[in-house]
Amino acid sequence: MSTIAFLGLGVMGGPMAGHLARAGHRVTGYNRTASRAQAWQASLAAEGVKVATSATPAEAVADADVVLACLGNDDDLASVMLVDDGGALAAMRKGALFIDHTTVSPAIARVIADKADALGLHAVDAPVSGGQAGAENGKLAIMCGGTDEAMAAATPVMEAFAARIVHIGGPGAGQACKAVNQVCIAGVLAGLSEGVRLAQATGIDTGKVLEAISGGAAQSWQMENRWETMVRGEFDFGFAIDWMRKDLAIALEEASAKGVSLPIAALVDQFYAQVQSAGGARQDTSALIRHLPEVKTQ
């Protein structure tokens, strides 16, 4: 079993770190907000997890075989891993492994991979899909970028919380794949939102509609897991719109750099901006339906 430092103990990172502890790894958690780290430790008291008491992530990772991160965005990742004073990457011992589960740009993933290589470290960019429920249930889909050697070391660690692990390609490939993932989800949620509103407007039983169409070509994870809550106007779970817009910005920027047009993703991003401005920033991505006027059922 490995000695692990996990940086970022939020709604995704906290459960993932817990699965590592239950798998028998020696886990130390680090969070910039100390109270969150302490709450995480209390919830896993039986597993013997520790909390780093250091002021910097550098001190938290010094003795780790494996360092995992699940942070917010490019700036957050850079401030924890790459800063000259107290950055974690330079503090890792030679031969250690860094696995980044943050959804960030392919560009910063490649920067980290290059710096890790220069320091004698292994690095894998490994964004995840499956949301809070996937993290809590240990059933995440993980898309990975890195060398074959880095993946061989990372895979047994990630198996503690993964339903599927796919090595996409070299450094940055996992993040590029995550951008594709988010574009696909955005399109599905846009169609699902309009389908729910149409069902409501026609007055037919929305439960029967779900029963009928979820068994055919219209079926999707979003339909199976979000149709009923969208009908009820419940959005207090899952992956927040703030984060979806951050991810779509990465996808749209990557597409622009490659000369690719993503008109549907760009339009859905505008719809999300409307829901954000109406107070839905921290609601689940299925709150996209809120950009469509409510209809009275007949």
Catalytic residues: 178
Give CA–CA dist 180/53, Å, rounded. Answer: 38
- Calculate Rg over the CA atoms of the chain: 20
> Which of 280, 208, 213, 211 lies closest to 244 in space, CA to CA?
280
* CA 247/CA 243 separation, integer angstroms: 6
Q: Which residue has the tokens 């993703």?
A: 265
Is-contact 71 33, C-beta < 8 A? Answer: no
Residue 95 CA to residue 272 CA, distance in Å, equals 43
Give the DSSP per-residue string, the chain: --EEEEE--STTHHHHHHHHHHTT-EEEEE-SSHHHHHHHHHHTGGGT-EE---SSHHHHHTT-SEEEE--SSHHHHHHHHT-TTT-HHHHSPTT-EEEE-S---HHHHHHHHHHHHHTT-EEEE--EESHHHHHHHT-EEEEEES-HHHHHHHHHHHTTSEEEEEEEESTTHHHHHHHHHHHHHHHHHHHHHHHHHHHHHHT--HHHHHHHHTTSTT--HHHHHHHHHHHHT---SSSBHHHHHHHHHHHHHHHHHTT---HHHHHHHHHHHHHIIIIITTSBGGGGGGGSPP----
